[in-house]
Amino acid sequence: MKKLIVMAAVVLFGTQVAKAQLSKGDVILGGNVNVKTTSAKVKDTDNKTTNTSFGVSPKVGYALNSNWVIGVFAETQFGNKKVATATGDVKTKTLDITPGIFVRNYHMIGQSKFAFFAEANAGYGFGNTKVDGNKTESYTGFNVNVLPGITYFVTKHFMIEGAFGGLGYTYAQHKAEGSGVKTNVSDFDFNFTKQLNLGVNFIF
């Protein structure tokens, strides 16, 4: 009797794990949302700077097999910066939009519902900056990133994930309004500990 119970448990658990993996042809819909607020005040003065940002990044992926997924994403980031001084406030707003493509490789962790993944993505970005309602500059550019993460398959059709900062390169050309002066900026970032993005995905 005990053997039958153990065998039944193994079969049931194995079935649950199998169902919780990706299959060829699966479509993954999901993304993540991030909110960040920081503030700093200069001691013994009325000067205070507050930064607030909000971002949303929906994505659609297609499973080539149980390990490989390719897809597209569209990230939108809104930023607000307020500098308060004794003579008045200066408000800066930024808008960044970055559509792109990604490829991801999953590796299940033993017989669990957890999986490690590695993702490579590339995007083309554009946006602008406004100070007190007046547009001061616009920009275009691109970025390439490689990042690690971990996924938990809650059910056959739903999973949650966490992705870390990773390795990235960004290039952008900023154009000042009025003068038309252009400034090229490039940045290479290696960061695995300072950034964590949480997301949810639905599998169809």
Per-residue pLDDT reduced to its tens digit, 23-71: 999 999 999 888 888 888 877 777 899 999 999 999 999 999 999 999 9
Phi, psi of 181 (to 5 degrees): -65, 130
pLDDT, tens digit, for every residue of 101-141?
Answer: 999 999 999 999 999 999 999 999 999 999 999 999 999 99
pLDDT at 13: 39
Structural domain for 103, as ranges: 2-203
pLDDT average, residue stretch 144-170 = 94
Q: Which helix (H) or strand (E) holds 176?
A: strand 158-176
How many folded domains does the chain comprise? 1
Local confidence band at 15 (pLDDT 50, 70, 90 cut-offs): very low
pTM value?
Answer: 0.79
Looking up residue 179, the CATH number of its domain turns out to be: 2.40.160.20
Exposure b/e, 128-147, CB count within 10 A at least 16 = b: bbeeeeeeebebebebebeb
pLDDT at 8: 38
Local confidence band at 191 (pLDDT 50, 70, 90 cut-offs): confident
